[in-house]
A and B are shown apart, each in its own frame.
Chain A
Amino acid sequence: GESVGLHLPTLSVQEGDNSIINCAYSNSASDYFIWYKQESGKGPQFIIDIRSNMDKRQGQRVTVLLNKTVKHLSLQIAATQPGDSAVYFCAESKAAGNKLTFGGGTRVLVKP
């Protein structure tokens, strides 16, 4: 069935290093992808999104890469900081439906 999932449940990163969080999706009709960050005790917070007509999009310290051939999405965080410690979710949707399907989440732990 349609699903969005993550390869790594927990990622430990040294402060200052780059982080890469991966996500696989199975619905080839999906055309919108989004990354959320959820800190403890808070709701998910939008980080960055990308549409299927793009393969890369950059924000402030974050880059999202989309490989439609293998249905793979990744989030890169440059110079990871302690404040980046959180659970990260990818989600996907089809434009007409506007319903997001979320993956299970990856916890990022930043070591000082």
Chain B
Amino acid sequence: DADVTQTPRNRITKTGKRIMLECSQTKGHDRMYWYRQDPGLGLRLIYYSFDVKDINKGEISDGYSVSRQAQAKFSLSLESAIPNQTALYFCATSVDWDETQYFGPGTRLLVL
């Protein structure tokens, strides 16, 4: 969905490096989410934010941090990347009264 964009689309990094994945949305939604997808598995929630002042941990938040810079921007950071963080990362948004989530195109991350 072009209304939700993610940068970069692909990233290769080395163990121990700090990296940031960014998400922007033009849908005007208050709620934003970061998910991780591994081969053969569904999406697992890392962090979510219901508005600019709200940050919540998901089921797999260890090793990650987030920042909600504005309603339209939600970034995910890996403070010290490790190989098992190699995965596909998706950002999603939803309105505060509707549970349908709209996903970005994903960022493919490889940690060597």
Q: Which residues of A contact B (CB under 8 A)?
A: 4, 9, 32, 34, 36, 41-46, 49, 89, 91, 93, 95, 98-100, 102-105
Q: Is the CB of A46 within 8 A of B105?
A: no
Which residues of B in the span 26-80 have a Cβ within 8 Å of any Cβ on A? Answer: 31, 40-45, 48, 50, 58
Please give, as numbers and ranges, the residues of chain B lying within 8 Å of A9 by CB-CB distance. Answer: 40
> Can you list 12 A-B contacts with CB-CB less than 8 angstroms, sorted by A residue number?
A4-B42, A32-B99, A43-B1, A44-B90, A45-B103, A46-B100, A49-B100, A91-B42, A102-B42, A104-B41, A105-B40, A105-B41
Q: Is the CB of B99 within 8 A of A95?
A: yes
**Considering only CB atoms and an 8 Å cut-off, how many residues of chain B contact the other chain?**
23
* Nearest CB in chain B: distance from A15 CB, A: 26
Q: Is the CB of A42 within 8 A of B99?
A: no
